[in-house]
Amino acid sequence: MVKITDVARHAGVSPSTVSYALSGKRSISRETRQRIEASIRELGYRPHAGARALASSRSNVVALVVPLRTGMHVPVVTQFAVSVVTGARGHDHDVLLLTQEEGEDGLRRVADSALVDALIVMDVQLHDPRLPLLRSLALPSVLIGFPAEPAGLTCIDLDFRAAGEACVEQLALLGHRCVALVGSPPEVYVRQTGFARRVARGFTAAADRHGLASSIHPCEASGAAARRTAERLLREHPALTGVVVHNEAVLEPLVDAFEQLGLSVPGDLSVVAICPDKLAEAARTPLTSVAIPSAEVGARAVELLMAKLSGAPVPVSTLLPPRLTVRASTGPRGTG
Amino acid sequence: MVKITDVARHAGVSPSTVSYALSGKRSISRETRQRIEASIRELGYRPHAGARALASSRSNVVALVVPLRTGMHVPVVTQFAVSVVTGARGHDHDVLLLTQEEGEDGLRRVADSALVDALIVMDVQLHDPRLPLLRSLALPSVLIGFPAEPAGLTCIDLDFRAAGEACVEQLALLGHRCVALVGSPPEVYVRQTGFARRVARGFTAAADRHGLASSIHPCEASGAAARRTAERLLREHPALTGVVVHNEAVLEPLVDAFEQLGLSVPGDLSVVAICPDKLAEAARTPLTSVAIPSAEVGARAVELLMAKLSGAPVPVSTLLPPRLTVRASTGPRGTG
DNA sequence: CTGAAAGCGCTAACAG
DNA sequence: CTGTTAGCGCTTTCAG
């Protein structure tokens, strides 16, 4: 293994100079730096991560805690994780992958052992048991999703409330008077996941504001459940002409079900989804949708974390504004 | 921060004794060990990962390189990653997440800096550019998937050739005489991914062995492509009664298309999938399938890696035998 | 602008 | 069965 003293000798300087050349923490004459850089390249030097972490109290690794629960849309989580890795690499950090399963002990373990020097936690619940720990930990952290009480933390997410509102606004604009929200599976609401509730709140608030009749329907993530939900909607709300879907798994099955029940989309029924753009575009009937920008959330989360690591102040809350794209699944009421 | 000397003082022993109590590398009297354990608990001691890595030349971290290419089924990759993390934690290791994007440089970086002490690489191509590096690296590695020449490496995967064969055997058993394989998207074949080809080989070999007419059809991962493929199959192969599908994204759309074209499954057409059991079970018509056991592959990969880390010899190749489960999508020929 | 030297916290000989 | 001690490779004062 080639070490810093090897490079120093080869370049005819002291180890500390090599160290400073690498970190940029003090100025080095142009000539010296070039000699050092040449030596590094020539010898193939790579600083020992452990030694560096020991001496500097910085591991340059961030932990990413990913959820494994049912009801989470896997591609969204994955996309997010990938953008975190990419973003972290851009700041010379690596990413340690932790599963929800490890819980608070896992967080404490990687924090106390100085394995990582910051944390990104996904899928935060309204009353997440990890919150007290995260607040007390010396390490900076960024949460994806909003707990009931974000004070003392740093949280980021799509503004799901505004997303729910935007969907209704769009339907109202098109003249619809009776709308329904097909939401996440019941267990997602039960375990008090913030984003599901926020969509529901925004949906209801906007509907009330515009004087629309509205109802909310949690839905399991299966084709059969989608079918049942569609039947129930038509039976219980005969005046229904606008549907907001916040459930990736049932997007296509739901539209299929409506059509098999004799309704055309968007002729008889307009559908607005809250989902990744990719999904909305790929649907047989491309769906008008509010994007879930996983990659952007991931990138921003890393930026926030790096800011905190460098001591910069960051906002407690970062809410990304919803972006609605009109596609083929919406139209004015009564076109059919 | 509480360090090993604090624990040693508190327990009235030397630091090395604490270290040995932790590692188990030499025997400690029952009484001493208990005193040490009590002190550790009481003080909340957690060894500094960097210091430990520096002194022991072991980071207890393994790198996992995940693919990001199109045509990979995201849930399969994710499931695999999760089982690697879980397995690694079971051996007191953590997992560093790397993306394919980083390529060979990324591998070299984490290896040379001693950030990790072993590698798991997914989605290995037949002539993967990382192979020479992996062969030359001092670190042990395990590959998911088989390159053209696995000598000098450690590879594990489902036996996709046998999987392709098993599907055909099942169809032959049911009396089918003309079969087709709907495969991965064309780009997967083009970039020479081993598993796609192996399925095709097994499929063809078994068909020939049983005297069945057979054909192979790569298929894009979209509903529209599934529909086109279905139409084409019926047009070009009117005698077709058995279809093997190795493409998670088109499973449901393909069956839907067949039915919309007037064929019943399994009445007129039997369908066998190669996909995760979950998908096969969740389909509207539960699909007879050969399982893609991501979790098992991940767990086994970790076991192989840990064996290598401990110096034990491991086989170059580990092929998991296919497991076929009969569900509702297959039946004897001519039932319709 | 550069060097010398003192650790960072832990492990693993070596010694008993 | 336990203690002493010499590093592991790097960063960062302190000194010049």
Q: How many CB pairs under 8 A join A and B?
A: 112
A chain contacts of residue B280, beta-carbon cutoff 8 Å: none
B20 and B69 part of one domain: no
A209 and A253 part of one domain: yes
Q: Which runs of E-coded beta strand occur in A89-196?
A: 94-99, 118-121, 141-144, 155-158, 178-183
Question: Closest-CA residue in chain A for B284?
Answer: A223
Q: Which residue carries 């629309």 as its tokens?
A: A212
Q: Where on strand D do bases come within 7 A of a protein Cβ?
A: 1-5, 7-13
The CATH number for B49's domain is: 1.10.260.40
DSSP reduced 3-state for A294 = helix
Cis-peptide into B253, omega within 30 deg: no
Q: What is the DSSP string of A231-270?
A: HHHHHH-TT--EEEE--GGGHHHHHHHHHHTT--TTTT-E
The set of residues, in sequence order, having a beta carbon less than 8 Å from that of B199 and lying 6+ positions away, is B160, B161, B163, B164, B181, B183, B246, B274
Angle between the A30-43 and A4-11 helix axes, to the nearest 10 degrees?
Answer: 130
B94 with A94: Cβ contact below 8 A: no
The set of residues, in sequence order, having a beta carbon less than 8 Å from that of A218 and lying 6+ positions away, is A183, A184, A185, A186, A188, A189
Q: Is residue A334 part of a domain?
A: no
Q: Is residue A10 part of a domain?
A: yes
Would the CA dihedral through A289, A295, A301, A304 be positive or negative?
Answer: negative
Report which residue type is found at A188.
V
Q: How far apart are CA A40 and CA A51, in angstroms?
A: 17
Q: Is the pLDDT of residue B237 over 60?
A: yes
A267 and A298 part of one domain: no
User: What pLDDT sits at residue A214?
Assistant: 97
Q: Is residue B127 part of a domain?
A: yes
- pTM, 2 dp: 0.94
Q: Where on strand C do bases come within 7 A of a protein Cβ?
A: 1-5, 7-13
* Mean pLDDT, rounded, for B298-309: 97
The set of residues, in sequence order, having a beta carbon less than 8 Å from that of A179 and lying 6+ positions away, is A168, A171, A203, A207, A212, A213, A214, A240, A241, A242, A243, A244
Instruction: Find the domain containing B130 and state its range.
Output: 61-158+294-320
In order of A30, B227, B234, B255, the CA distances from B259 in angstroms are 73, 11, 12, 6
pLDDT band at A19 (very low <50, low <70, confident <90, very high): very high
Strand C contact with B24 (CB < 7 A): no
B91 and B145 part of one domain: yes
Q: pLDDT tens digits, residue range B175-228?
A: 999 999 999 988 877 777 789 999 999 999 999 999 999 999 999 988 889 999
B123 and B221 part of one domain: no
Q: Is residue B335 part of a domain?
A: no
Q: What is the DSSP string of B259-296?
A: HHTT--TTTT-EEEEEE-HHHHHHSSSPPEEEE--HHH
CA of B48 to C1' of C13 (A): 21
Q: Is residue A22 part of a domain?
A: yes
pLDDT band at B132 (very low <50, low <70, confident <90, very high): very high
Q: Is the pLDDT of residue A201 over 70?
A: yes
CA of A73 to C1' of C1 (A): 56
* Mean pLDDT, rounded, for A223-240: 94
pLDDT band at A334 (very low <50, low <70, confident <90, very high): confident
Residue B171, classified by CB atoms within 10 Å of its CB into exposed (0-12), middle (13-18) or buried (19+), is buried
Q: Is the pLDDT of residue A336 over 70?
A: no
B46 with A109: Cβ contact below 8 A: yes
Chain B 47-76 contacts with nucleic strand C (CB below 7 A) = 47-48, 51-52, 54-56
B134 and B231 part of one domain: no
B275 and B310 part of one domain: no
A168 and A283 part of one domain: yes
B195 and B250 part of one domain: yes
* Mean pLDDT, rounded, for A224-242: 94
A172 and A248 part of one domain: yes
User: What pLDDT sits at residue A148?
Assistant: 93
Q: Is residue A241 part of a domain?
A: yes
Q: How far apart are CA B212 and CA B204, in angstroms?
A: 9
Strand D contact with B332 (CB < 7 A): no
Q: Is residue A173 part of a domain?
A: yes
End-to-end CA distance of chain B: 74
From the list A54, A75, A102, which residue is nearest B74 (CB)?
A: A75
Dihedral pair phi/psi, residue B148, rounded to 5°: -60, -35
pLDDT band at B70 (very low <50, low <70, confident <90, very high): low
B46 and B99 part of one domain: no
Strand C contact with B16 (CB < 7 A): yes
Q: How far apart are CA B157 and CA B142, in angstroms?
A: 11
Q: How far apart are CA A163 and CA A156, in angstroms?
A: 15
Q: How far apart are CA A157 and CA A167, in angstroms?
A: 18
User: How close A257 comes to chain B (CA, Å)?
Assistant: 13
User: How close B68 comes to chain A (CA, Å)?
Assistant: 8
Q: Is residue B189 part of a domain?
A: yes
B99 with A85: Cβ contact below 8 A: yes
A115 with B94: Cβ contact below 8 A: yes
From the list B51, B64, B89, which residue is nearest A54 (CB)?
A: B51
Closest residue by Cα to residue B112 from A225, A49, A121, A101: A49
Dihedral pair phi/psi, residue B324, rounded to 5°: -100, 130
A78 with B74: Cβ contact below 8 A: yes
User: What pLDDT sits at residue B336?
Assistant: 52
The residues with which A318 forms a beta bridge, in sequence order, are A156
- How many domains are contained in chain A? 3
B85 with A77: Cβ contact below 8 A: no
Q: Residue ranges of the alpha helices (H) in B44-141? A: 49-56, 74-90, 103-112, 131-136
Closest residue by Cα to residue B84 from B274, B297, B298: B298
Chain A 286-325 contacts with nucleic strand C (CB below 7 A) = none
Q: pLDDT tens digits, residue range A119-128?
A: 999 999 999 9
Strand C contact with B127 (CB < 7 A): no
Q: How far apart are CA A294 and CA A157, in angstroms?
A: 9
The CATH number for B219's domain is: 3.40.50.2300
Opening angle at CA B271, ends B270 and B273, nearest 5: 155
Q: Are strands B324-325 and B288-291 parallel, antiparallel or unpaired?
A: antiparallel
Structure token pair of residue A149: 């009480």
Question: Closest-CA residue in chain B for A227?
Answer: B284
B258 and B166 part of one domain: yes
How long a stretch of residues is chain A?
336
Q: Do A247 and A259 touch, CB atoms closer than 8 A? A: no
pLDDT band at B159 (very low <50, low <70, confident <90, very high): very high
Question: Closest-CA residue in chain B for A77?
Answer: B78
Q: Is the pLDDT of residue A49 over 60?
A: yes
Report which residue type is found at A20.
Y
